[in-house]
């Protein structure tokens, strides 16, 4: 650990940078920061940690002369505060690099990577280690129900991190995760996403291979069996033992549903029965996430029996098929899904749970990739398990959502208030309304719940 320093964090309200701020503060450093908008839950977490932050990026905030400016990947050349920082030759670094050099270098890092499921799997893994009495540190891009915060310093040696493939900073175009130097690595899945920074899937695979290259020979890489994009990446060179998971008996870790919605499933390891999970989560994707977490925990010495006992008490993650309200017989869920695969798996899970009840999907195509229209040809089919689809397409949207071709009754609206009015009037007792967005959706959740009352 270095001597204490004063960090000023640009972009402090994001889940990663906000988590980093809390870790640095817990390690004894002075932390200040700023962001364009700071709102709950991150503003609450920062206030509770005693961290001062300002709204906006006025260059005058750099007059406090911090020991180092930690630059978030939302910052770009041309912003006055960045130009001032460079002109004054202030010391600066990226969040991932600061994290490694000051907190992770001496820890056993367990990293969870992949296109989908990182937050949930990392939350499960941190909870399993906590349940086993290991008091792990963690930095997760969401809020696990069992902890109530997205980051914690914990005790050495174990540290769980959500390992994101997005780029690091305007001066470092490598993926964030290459900075973490994991000893235990989960690769959940690998698909094309982040079209704003990656031209194609091969470019993402290259970054994943940079990560594979630095996992020690005494480490472990855990991944689903039979995923071509992952197999191709590992075939570029892998110097670390691997373990596979699948519903296929040929994988090292095999899982199978006891009930159709996977709220209970059985596990075998190399063909031998290893126990049964019975929990509050649903969906085949969550069973896969759980098995990956069990395998990673076993790598650091936690028994599968203890891991299963922990999963049976796992409370889920905010914004992951989270039941927000039940009003006049209508259930309203919040989910972060914003990629066709994630949308499809979430709806498949909900369908298995609710049977023939009516599911109304409400979707905001908000991510950069979605706004660019990259997934427009595969997006419609992802909603096949819904009975209705309501899409919010703001007036400045980049492509015509009328071309969605979803196989269900689809309504497209350019006003959130109109959407709330019409949906609240047309919904009826027994409906399940699933709201999907990777942002705040203009406060739609609370407006709809209020209107339904």
Query: What's the number of domains the chain is made of?
Result: 3
Residues 299 and 328 placed together within one structural domain of the fold: no
- Tell the burial category of 310 from Cβ atoms under 10 Å away from its Cβ (0-12, 13-18, 19+): buried
Q: Which of 311, 346, 366 is the last residue of a domain?
A: 311
The two tokens of residue 155 are 């005790």
SS3 content of the chain, % helix, strand, coil (to 5): 35, 25, 40
Q: CA-based angle 399:35:40, to the nearest 5?
A: 85
The two tokens of residue 188 are 């959940």
Q: In which domain, by residue range, is 194 found?
A: 106-311
Strand 172-175 relative to strand 158-162, pairing = unpaired
pLDDT at 395 over 90: no
pTM: 0.84
Residues 144 and 30 placed together within one structural domain of the fold: no
Residues 34 and 123 placed together within one structural domain of the fold: no
SS3 at position 411: strand
- The model's pLDDT over 290-323, given as tens digits with 9 standing for 90+, comes to 999 999 999 999 999 999 999 999 997 878 788 8
Handedness of CA 200, 204, 205, 210 (dihedral sign): positive
- DSSP state letters, 237-279: ---S-EEEEESSTTSSEEEEESSTTSSEEEEEETTEEEEEEE-
Q: Which of 95, 121, 145 is the last residue of a domain?
A: 95
Residue 300: per-residue pLDDT: 98
Q: Looking at the domain assignment, is residue 304 inside a domain?
A: yes
Better-scored residue on pLDDT, 351 or 2: 351
SS3 at position 146: coil
User: What's the average model confidence in pLDDT over 277-286?
Assistant: 92
Q: What is the CATH number of the domain that holds 56?
A: 3.40.50.720
Query: What residue has token string 């596990």?
Result: 267
Q: What confidence category does residue 1 fall into, taking pLDDT thresholds of 50, 70 and 90?
A: very low
Residue 199: per-residue pLDDT: 78
Residues 6+ apart with CB under 8 A from 89: none
Q: Looking at the domain assignment, is residue 316 inside a domain?
A: no
- The model's pLDDT over 67-119, given as tens digits with 9 standing for 90+, comes to 999 999 999 999 999 999 999 999 999 999 999 999 999 999 999 999 888 99
Q: What confidence category does residue 192 fall into, taking pLDDT thresholds of 50, 70 and 90?
A: low
Strand 151-152 relative to strand 242-246, pairing = unpaired
User: How far is Cα 145 from Cα 315, in angstroms, rounded to an integer?
Assistant: 5
Q: What is the CATH number of the domain that holds 173?
A: 3.40.1190.10
Residue 194: per-residue pLDDT: 65
Residues 134 and 229 placed together within one structural domain of the fold: yes
* 160 DSSP β-pair partners: 110, 138
Q: Which backbone phi and psi does 289 adopt, to 5 degrees?
A: -55, -45
Residue 141: per-residue pLDDT: 86
Residue pair 220/253 in contact (Cβ under 8 Å)? The answer is no
SS3 at position 9: strand
Q: What confidence category does residue 441 fall into, taking pLDDT thresholds of 50, 70 and 90?
A: confident
- Give helix 416-426 / helix 444-452 axis angle, nearest 10°: 30
Q: Looking at the domain assignment, is residue 100 inside a domain?
A: no
Residues 166 and 205 placed together within one structural domain of the fold: yes
Q: Looking at the domain assignment, is residue 317 inside a domain?
A: no
- Tell the burial category of 447 from Cβ atoms under 10 Å away from its Cβ (0-12, 13-18, 19+): middle
SS3 annotation, 198-241: CCCHHHHHHHHHHHHHCCCCCCEEEEECCCHHHHHHHHCCCCCC
Residue pair 117/189 in contact (Cβ under 8 Å)? The answer is yes
H or E element that contains 330: strand 330-335
Residues 194 and 76 placed together within one structural domain of the fold: no
Residues 6+ apart with CB under 8 A from 371: 365, 397, 398
Q: Which of 74, 95, 116 is the last residue of a domain?
A: 95
Residues 6+ apart with CB under 8 A from 50: 25
Residues 110 and 58 placed together within one structural domain of the fold: no
Residues 133 and 244 placed together within one structural domain of the fold: yes
**Ramachandran region, residue 45 (left: φ > 0; alpha: ψ -120 to 50; beta: rest):** alpha
399: Cα separation from own chain's centroid: 26
Residue 442: per-residue pLDDT: 85
């Amino acid at each position: 650990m270095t001597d204490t320093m004063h960090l000023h964090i640009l972009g402090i309200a994001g889940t990663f940078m906000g988590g980093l701020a809390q870790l640095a503060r817990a390690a004894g450093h002075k932390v200040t920061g700023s962001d364009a908008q700071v709102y709950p839950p991150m503003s609450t977490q920062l206030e509770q940690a005693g961290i001062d932050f300002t709204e906006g990026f006025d260059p005058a905030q750099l007059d406090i002369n911090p020991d180092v400016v930690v630059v978030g990947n939302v910052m770009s050349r041309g912003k006055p505060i960045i130009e001032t920082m460079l002109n004054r030759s202030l010391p600066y670094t990226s969040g991932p690099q600061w994290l490694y050099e000051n907190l992770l270098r001496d820890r056993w890092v367990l990293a969870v990577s992949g296109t989908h499921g990182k937050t949930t799997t990392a939350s499960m893994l941190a909870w399993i280690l906590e349940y086993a009495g290991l008091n792990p540190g963690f930095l997760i891009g969401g809020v696990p129900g069992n902890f109530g915060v997205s980051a914690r310093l914990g005790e050495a040696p174990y540290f769980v991190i959500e390992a994101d493939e997005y780029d690091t900073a305007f001066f470092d175009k490598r993926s964030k995760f290459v900075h973490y130097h994991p000893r235990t690595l989960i690769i959940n899945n690998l698909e094309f996403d982040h079209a704003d920074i990656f031209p194609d899937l091969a470019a993402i695979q290259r970054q994943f291979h940079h990560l594979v290259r630095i996992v020690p020979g005494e480490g472990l890489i855990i991944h689903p069996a039979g995923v071509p994009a992952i197999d191709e990446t590992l075939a570029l060179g892998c110097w670390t033992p691997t373990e596979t998971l699948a519903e296929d008996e040929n994988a090292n870790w095999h899982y199978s549903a006891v009930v159709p919605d996977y709220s209970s499933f059985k596990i075998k390891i190399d063909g031998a029965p290893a126990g049964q999970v019975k929990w509050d989560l649903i969906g085949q994707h969550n069973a896969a996430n759980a098995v990956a977490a069990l395998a990673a925990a076993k790598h650091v010495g936690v028994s599968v029996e203890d891991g299963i006992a922990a999963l049976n008490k796992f409370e889920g993650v905010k914004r992951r098929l989270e039941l927000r309200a039940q009003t006049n017989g209508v259930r309203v869920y919040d989910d972060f899904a914003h990629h066709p695969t994630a949308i499809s798996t979430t709806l498949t899970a909900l369908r298995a749970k609710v049977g023939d009840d009516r599911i109304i999907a409400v979707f905001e195509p908000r991510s950069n990739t979605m706004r660019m229209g990259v997934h427009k040809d595969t997006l419609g089919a992802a909603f096949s398990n819904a009975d209705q689809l309501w899409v919010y397409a703001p007036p400045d949207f980049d492509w015509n959502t009328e071309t969605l071709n979803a196989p269900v009754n689809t309504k497209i609206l350019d006003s959130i208030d109109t959407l709330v009015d019409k949906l609240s009037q047309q919904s009826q007792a027994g409906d399940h309304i699933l709201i999907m967005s990777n942002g705040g959706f203009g406060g739609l959740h609370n407006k709809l719940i209020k209107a339904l009352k």
